[in-house]
Amino acid sequence: MLDMKWLREGKENQETIQQIANQKGIDLSVQELMELDHRRRSMLQEVEDLRHDRNRFTQEINTLMRQGKRDETDIIKAQVKAINERLGEQEQILRETKVKYNELLSLVPNIVSSDTPVGASDRDNVEIRKTGQPPVFEFPLRDHVELGEMHSMIDIPRGVKTAGSRNYYLTGIGVLLHRAVQQLALDLLVQKGFTLFDVPLMVRTEALMNTAFFPLGKDQTFHITNEDKWLAGTSEVPLVSYYSGEVVDVTDPLKLAAASLCFRSEIGSAGKDVRGLYRVHQFAKVEQVILCEANLELSEQLLQEITANAEELLQLLELPYRVMAVCTGDMSQKTYKQYDIETWMPSRNCYGETHSSSNLLDFQARRSGIRYRDQTGALRYCYTLNNTAVASPRILIPLLENHQQEDGSIAIPAALRPYMNGIKQIML
C-alpha cells in the first residue's frame, strides 16, 4: 500500500502510478481512486459535522427539558430527527463509498526502481550476469523424469492417480536429495545470521491481504472451504505476518528464514510445463525475509545480499545460472525491484527460473502495520525484502540433469554429500 498523502500531492505522482499499473497489467483507474478519496473525505467531514450537531442539540434538549420549555424542546427534537434521517442516509453512502475506495486502494501498485527494465513479460527481462557454463554431453541426454524413474526417485503417474494433475511422489533417495538441498540452504542462512522459523501453512485472508498477495493472487491460492483459511504459497506470508501490527527494533535488520511446504493452484497454466516437476501444486521452499529501516541504500544492499545467498547455494550445487533484472510487466503489484535467478536445465535447453529476490520498500509493512522508531523517536514503516533461497522439487530438475553421467548415474555435488550419508554418486 502506498501513502495516500503522496498520491494526493500532485498529478505527476498519480500519472506515475497509473503508468506502473498499466505496465504491471493491473486494472486500476487512479483518477477514479482520487475521486473516491475526495468524496470519502468530504462525506466523512459531513457525517462528523452532523454527529456534532446532533450531540449539541441533544445537550440543548436536556437543558430545555430541565427548564420545562416544552415547545422549544419539541422544535429541537424535530431538528434532531431530521439530522438523524440525514445522518443515516449519509452514513450508508459513506460505507458504500469506503468499500469502493478500499477495493481500488488494494489494487494500487508499488512504485518501481529507476533501474527496473520496462517490458511486458519475462521475455523482456534483462540478463545481469551469468555464472558457470552449461555442460556439453557426449551421450544422449536424459531429462529429470527419466532419470527419476530410472533411480526410483520420482513417481508422477501415482502422484496423478492419488491427487490429480501436477502432483507427484518423491521416493527413496529422491526424498534424501530433496531434503538435503533444503538443509544445505538452511545451514547456509544460519551462517549468514538468519533466525529459523517453522511457520503455519494455513493463513487468514487478512495475512494475505496485508502481505499484498491478495486481492490479485486469489486465483493462485487454495482456499479451505467454510474457513477463513488459505494454503500459503510461500512462507513469506507467515514470516512477515509474525510482526504485523507491531513496533519492532530494526537497529540491526531482522533476518528470518523458514523451510515450508507451499501450495499453488496454477490457474491459467493449463497445458504449460505439464511434463515433470517444473510447475506443480505442492512444493517446498526455503525463504529469506528481511525487515529493515526505511533506508533506500540499505535496502539495496540487503537485496544484493539475499540474492548473493541464493547464488552461493547454486555455486555449492555446481549449477550454471544467470541473474535477470525483472521488467515491470513481469513484476507483482507489491514489488519495487526484483531479480530472478534462472538455472540451466538441459532438457529444456534453456535457463529456467528457480529463485526470485524482491525489494518491496514499505509497501508490505504499511499494509501489515509493521513500524519502528527512527533516531528521532518517530514511528516509521519498515522496508521488507524476500528471496527464495531454494525451491524443491524444481531445483531437482537442473540438479539431476546437469550432473547425469553417460551410464545413467548422477554425481552428487561435494557440498551435498554430508547431507546424503556421504553418497558421492547415485548409481543404477
Residues 263, 226, 239, 278, Cα dihedral to 10°: 10
Q: Active site residue: 40, 279, 373, 417, which one?
A: 279
- Measured in whole angstroms, the distance separating CA 203 from the mean position of its chain's CA atoms is 13
Task: Given the residues 235, 236, 260, 264, select the one marked as catalytic.
Answer: 264
Q: How high is the pLDDT of residue 193?
A: 98
Digit-by-digit pLDDT tens for the chain (428 residues) are 788 899 998 899 999 999 999 999 999 999 999 999 999 999 999 999 888 888 887 777 777 777 777 767 777 788 878 888 888 899 999 999 999 999 999 999 999 999 999 999 999 999 999 999 999 999 999 999 999 999 999 999 999 999 999 999 999 999 999 999 999 999 999 999 999 999 999 999 999 999 999 999 999 999 999 999 999 999 999 999 999 999 999 999 999 999 999 999 987 766 677 789 999 999 999 999 999 999 999 999 999 999 999 999 999 999 999 999 999 999 999 999 999 999 999 999 999 999 999 999 999 999 999 999 999 999 999 999 999 999 999 999 999 999 999 999 999 999 999 999 999 999 98
**Catalytic residue (choose from 166, 236, 394, 401):** 394
Burial of 359 (C-beta count, 10 Å sphere; 0-12/13-18/19+): buried
Give the Å distances, CA to CA, from 385 to 63, 284, 310, 381: 60, 19, 14, 13
Cα–Cα distance, 149 to 171 (Å, whole number): 10
Indicate which residue of 332, 356, 358, 368 is catalytic: 356
Q: Is 279 a catalytic residue?
A: yes
For 309-342, give the DSSP string: HHHHHHHHTT--EEEEEPPGGGS-TT-SEEEEEE
Is residue 269 annotated as a catalytic residue, yes or no?
A: no
Q: What is the pLDDT of residue 271?
A: 67
At residue 82, the pLDDT reads 84
Q: Which domains are seen in the chain, by residue range?
A: 4-105 (1.10.287.40), 122-426 (3.30.930.10)
Residue 174 · residue 284 · CB < 8 Å: no
Q: If you search the block for the grid coordinates 533506508, which residue do you land on? A: 295
Q: How far apart are CA 363 and CA 382, in angstroms?
A: 9
What DSSP character marks residue 111? P
Q: Is residue 332 a contact partner of residue 356, using CB atoms and an 8 Å limit? A: no
CA 355/CA 340 separation, integer angstroms: 6
Could you say which of 311, 342, 353, 401 is catalytic?
A: 353
Q: Return the closest-CA partner of residue 45 out of 94, 104, 100, 84.
A: 94
Q: How far apart are the first and last CA of the chain?
A: 54
What would the grid cell of residue 271 be? 497445458
**Does 394 qualify as catalytic in the annotation?**
yes
